Every structure is written in C-alpha cells, then in structure tokens.
Amino acid sequence: MLPDKLSTIETEYAEIEKSISDPKIISDSVKFIELSKKRKELFPLIEKIRSYKKIEQEIFHLGEMLKTDDSDLLELAKLELLEFENKKSK
C-alpha cells in the first residue's frame, strides 16, 4: 500500500517535471506557476522518498551480505544493517 502511494507521488512529480518544460505550459503563465508551486510542494517529499528507497536498497544488500561465511564481513554487515534499520524507522 505505502509503496503504491510513493510510486504515485513519484509519477505525479515526474509528470510535473515533464510538463514544466513543455512550450505550451511555459506560454501559459497561470498553468506554469500552478505546476511550479506543486513541484515545490512535492520536492521535499520526493527527496524523502528517494532517501527511503536508497535505505531499502542498502538494507537488501546488507541482508545478502549476512549470508557470508566471513566473520568480519558478517559483523560489519550486522552493524550497518542496524544503522540503516534505525534510519528507515525515522
């Protein structure tokens, strides 16, 4: 459910980005300003979504590292996994 909402927000942001560069939108100052404001509102959320996805990816890769037989690498992966889990929960 949450990934769907995040994806919807990302899609909306991408569509706004694309629209803002459209000459038809650029020539319509009202629409351009409206889209620019919406883009500005969404930008902080988009940054958080991207950060969240990066953390998810790191957690996945660390999970793969936990399958190693190398005790030093395993310990490092465990520590980093805890760190990313804490970041994810914030």
pLDDT, tens digit (0-9, with 9 covering 90-100), for 2-57: 778 889 999 999 999 999 999 999 999 999 999 999 999 999 999 999 988 888 88
pTM beyond 0.85, yes or no: no
* Alpha carbons 61 and 76: distance in angstroms, whole number: 13
When mean pLDDT is compared across 61-65, 76-80, 84-88, the lowest value belongs to 84-88
* Alpha carbons 59 and 81: distance in angstroms, whole number: 6
The tokens 């790191």 sit on which residue? 58
